[in-house]
A and B are shown apart, each in its own frame.
Chain A
């Protein structure tokens, strides 16, 4: 019974982290039809920015947990929004309308560039900022323990998920974005400034990636190559759920999270295999993912 509880708790905690990482990726694809490989680098930038800022804060004698969270959020939002703005205005804007595969290659190039930029700025030494993670302690359930910080990540993930849903479904901007998703040309004809909406969407998607990195920074050693590792997992989640669907990303994250937790607790040697086995199984029966929509080709 303890193992079942452990699988459920670990599965949902991991799913919440996966959703945080994948949300920005799926928002950008849903609106802009860009499979943003650079999302991994935005995650890494958020992690490095938060780890550096927390380092300054704690080295300067700071010890307030609430301030640490403000610092994580502020540093990740700043670096994510700014980098997103630069990428969209400086590069992607010049290439709209091109084939999706070409855009994927372009963003992959951005990923490689940003990986080196990170090394130039932060070097190769691992950064760690465990203070917030340690300060939040743990909850004991028999021999099992749950980190308070992990529960906080779960809560943040829920807030971001609900916020994204509300933004897309209940606000004017959301309605405009949905009209663009449905038909970009008609939206433009109706007077929607699609380019401006693209900029806003990309900045929000990039910021979500950076926030995921910033929140993860106190849990891990922030090392070069971090973004490349993450982007593969994020793709597995969004492809399982259906590219471009927030609901799909959430459901995909839960499925992958629970499958992985079950594997780790029962057959640890299959940990990696199980994630891709789930993805492959879903794609066999639903080639567009669980919540993906079939798009008719315009001739």
Chain B
């Protein structure tokens, strides 16, 4: 059992209990005991605290955000964020569980804005939740940052966004990046197969990947795609079906426990010695595979996050702080949550006002801006300045002497993997990536 090697079970029990209780429904973290409403800035933080997405994504994201919020309030962040608080105000967060589906999340969002009186909202891992929240954020005129969700439709469905932002990349970038990595490192691969969770994320990812492969590796043949149920756990039959198709490459957008289970089972069954797996969210398993993935398995981290973070003062500080607190390096969800909180501090500090900035002032400060983060310099250059444009990285998993690392890492500029404004992402791929710049 990999996780329990790091902490004794009683510690896990206490931590799990503390996390569940402290973060349940309406928890408060990073709040100074003496802070009054006038001297604090209240942010709603929405992430999965229960259900299958909580362990690999939701809780690490909450932990990543918590570390940055505490450091902001202590004034202990590296430059350029080494001033105390956000715009001089204590940052207080109200944590909400993202479980329950879009309808519940819209209720929770309204509750955060109208009853909890938050000044901003950060959150949303699920694309379904993001799509539901986007129009509500615009309607309620509340400054909102989506930190993780990957749907490329977020800003297609909001005409002229004013208050909704996303500080990470969408799933199109994941899959165009994956195709580019294969074209460069596995140009001789011919038979391409896939396995995706059977819902919008998996279906969209496979569509984007296969469209990109048609452009970048036209000789390659798509031989099979498996679509197991979300949280299925056992993939014995799917692995057999993939083996009978004799693929060279197996693409998967599966995430969390599903991704880890599939990798371990496919490794034991020999599929991963017959074919190379490319896992678009595989970075979250970098320090959990423990050798259960063969060396050479290609991992993505949904951008320059987690193990793909570039070396800079912020990423080094964040990695050290996260290891000190949780005993393991931050995975990409933790890094993405940290980035969203840094974006909030950037917007508040640059709002040009005293006291609590309004949603309009925050939006004006972040729109089209460039800010420093754990993933390097982030340019809010897409969706009219509301969506981050960042590089996409892939690398090969390597495990030796109990240590995991990424090798043969390749990074593609944002303009190389993301559709420019004015293009539907799928149309952009089908037309051969017009306006692309990979240099």
A interface, CB within 8 angstroms of B: 2-3, 6, 9-11, 13-14, 17, 51-52, 54-56, 58-59, 119-130, 133-134, 137-138, 140, 143-147, 149-150, 216, 219-226, 229, 260-261, 264-265, 268-269, 271-272
Closest to A54 in B: B1
Shortest Cβ gap from B82 to chain A (Å): 32
Instruction: Pick out which of these stretches binds chain A: B232-240, B373-381, B428-436.
Output: B232-240
The residues of B that contact A260 with a CB separation of less than 8 Å are 237
Pick the residue among B3, B19, B228 that contacts A126 (CB under 8 A).
B3
With A143-B244, A147-B269 known as contacts, the answer to whether A124 contacts B49 (CB < 8 A) is: yes
Question: Which secondary structure characterizes the binding site on chain B?
Answer: helix
Bound complex: CA A85 to CA B288 (Å) = 36
- In the complex, besides A56-B9, A229-B233, 6 extra interface pairs with C-beta distance below 8 angstroms are A14-B234, A124-B16, A126-B256, A128-B3, A220-B257, A271-B228
- Is the C-beta of B20 less than 8 angstroms from some C-beta in chain A? yes
Pick the residue among B1, B226, B270, B292 that contacts A51 (CB under 8 A).
B1
Q: Would A10 and B240 count as touching, CB distance under 8 A?
A: yes
Pick the residue among A59, A123, A271 that contacts B229 (CB under 8 A).
A271
Pick the residue among A223, A261, A268 that contacts B256 (CB under 8 A).
A223
Nearest 8 A-B pairs (CB), nearest first?
A123-B16, A55-B1, A221-B257, A220-B233, A55-B4, A10-B237, A124-B54, A126-B257
Q: Mark B7-21, 1 if CB is under 8 A from A, else 0.
A: 001001101110110
Bound complex: CA A224 to CA B243 (Å) = 30
Bound complex: CA A94 to CA B258 (Å) = 40
Instruction: Pick out which of these stretches binds chain A: B141-149, B213-221, B259-267, B352-360.
Output: B259-267
With A124-B50, A229-B233, A260-B237 known as contacts, the answer to whether A268 contacts B3 (CB < 8 A) is: no
Q: Would B51 and A6 count as touching, CB distance under 8 A?
A: no
Q: Would B2 and A120 count as touching, CB distance under 8 A?
A: no
Q: Would B20 and A272 count as touching, CB distance under 8 A?
A: no
Q: Would A143 and B243 count as touching, CB distance under 8 A?
A: yes
Closest to A57 in B: B1
Bound complex: CA A294 to CA B359 (Å) = 65
Bound complex: CA A54 to CA B9 (Å) = 12
The residues of A that contact B267 with a CB separation of less than 8 Å are 134
Closest to B21 in A: A120
Closest to A11 in B: B237
Closest to B12 in A: A123
With A125-B12, A125-B55, A130-B292 known as contacts, the answer to whether A59 contacts B243 (CB < 8 A) is: no
With A123-B17, A123-B20, A219-B265 known as contacts, the answer to whether A225 contacts B236 (CB < 8 A) is: no
Shortest Cβ gap from A118 to chain B (Å): 10
The residues of A that contact B224 with a CB separation of less than 8 Å are 268
- Is the C-beta of B323 less than 8 angstroms from some C-beta in chain A? no
The residues of B that contact A264 with a CB separation of less than 8 Å are 226, 237-238, 240-241
Closest to B229 in A: A272
Q: Would B246 and A143 count as touching, CB distance under 8 A?
A: yes
Closest to A261 in B: B237
The residues of A that contact B238 with a CB separation of less than 8 Å are 264, 268
Shortest Cβ gap from A265 to chain B (Å): 5
B contacts with A, residue count (CB < 8 A): 56
- Is the C-beta of B207 less than 8 angstroms from some C-beta in chain A? no
- Is the C-beta of B268 less than 8 angstroms from some C-beta in chain A? yes
Q: Would A125 and B52 count as touching, CB distance under 8 A?
A: no
Closest to B230 in A: A229
- Is the C-beta of B56 less than 8 angstroms from some C-beta in chain A? yes
- Please, could you name 17 A-B residue pairs with CB atoms under 8 Å apart, sorted by A? A6-B243, A56-B4, A123-B15, A124-B49, A124-B55, A124-B58, A126-B56, A127-B3, A128-B292, A129-B1, A133-B264, A138-B269, A145-B269, A145-B270, A147-B265, A221-B233, A271-B227
B interface, CB within 8 angstroms of A: 1-5, 9, 12-13, 15-17, 19-20, 49-52, 54-56, 58-59, 198, 224-229, 231-234, 236-238, 240-241, 243-244, 246, 256-258, 260-261, 264-265, 267-271, 274, 288, 292
Bound complex: CA A278 to CA B51 (Å) = 29
The residues of A that contact B228 with a CB separation of less than 8 Å are 271
Q: Would B16 and A121 count as touching, CB distance under 8 A?
A: yes
Shortest Cβ gap from B233 to chain A (Å): 4
The residues of B that contact A149 with a CB separation of less than 8 Å are 268
Bound complex: CA A226 to CA B51 (Å) = 9
The residues of A that contact B20 with a CB separation of less than 8 Å are 119-120, 123-124
Closest to B225 in A: A268
Residue in B15, B50, B52 with the greatest tally of chain A CB atoms within 10 Å = B52
The residues of A that contact B271 with a CB separation of less than 8 Å are 145
Q: Would B13 and A121 count as touching, CB distance under 8 A?
A: yes
Residue in B226, B232, B238, B265 with the greatest tally of chain A CB atoms within 10 Å = B265
Bound complex: CA A130 to CA B267 (Å) = 11
Q: Would A122 and B12 count as touching, CB distance under 8 A?
A: yes
Pick the residue among A13, A123, A133, A269 that contacts B265 (CB under 8 A).
A133
Q: Would A144 and B243 count as touching, CB distance under 8 A?
A: yes
Closest to A2 in B: B244
Bound complex: CA A290 to CA B432 (Å) = 55
Q: Would B234 and A219 count as touching, CB distance under 8 A?
A: yes
The residues of A that contact B198 with a CB separation of less than 8 Å are 271-272
Shortest Cβ gap from B200 to chain A (Å): 14
The residues of B that contact A59 with a CB separation of less than 8 Å are 1, 4-5
Q: Would A224 and B54 count as touching, CB distance under 8 A?
A: yes
With A10-B240, A261-B237, A264-B237 known as contacts, the answer to whether A125 contacts B3 (CB < 8 A) is: yes
Pick the residue among A6, A58, A223 that contacts B55 (CB under 8 A).
A223
Q: Would B244 and A223 count as touching, CB distance under 8 A?
A: no
Bound complex: CA A142 to CA B411 (Å) = 38
Q: Would A219 and B243 count as touching, CB distance under 8 A?
A: no
Bound complex: CA A220 to CA B254 (Å) = 14
Bound complex: CA A241 to CA B198 (Å) = 27
